[in-house]
Amino acid sequence: MTIRTYRVEGMTCGHCARSVEHEVSDLAGVETATVDLSAATVAVESIDEIPEPRLAAAVGEAGYALAGRA
């Protein structure tokens, strides 16, 4: 199991956080996705590391931008 934390730009509220968590959680291989709104991050727990472009696409689908590893 790996846990990686990434910065997310543009989140401002709980709805934003839930949208990002939902999109990232739907990716194959992701066990959990947990957003820390005050830190503007998402922690992704997965069996294998998820490629950053796939994470960026999921975060983008929620309307926000992945800004790299935290």
String of DSSP letters for 9-53: ES--SHHHHHHHHHHHHTSTTEEEEEEETTTTEEEEEESSPPPHH
Q: Give the residue from 33, 5, 39, 30 showing the smallest Cα distance to 19.
A: 33
Q: What is the pTM of this model?
A: 0.94
Q: Is 2 helix (H, G, I), strand (E, B) or coil?
A: strand
pLDDT at 67: 97
CATH match of 2-69 with 2.40.50.140: no
Percent of the chain exceeding pLDDT 70 equals 100
Is the separation of the CB atoms in 7 and 70 below 8 Å? yes
Report pLDDT digits (tens) over 3-37: 999 999 999 999 999 999 999 999 999 999 999 99
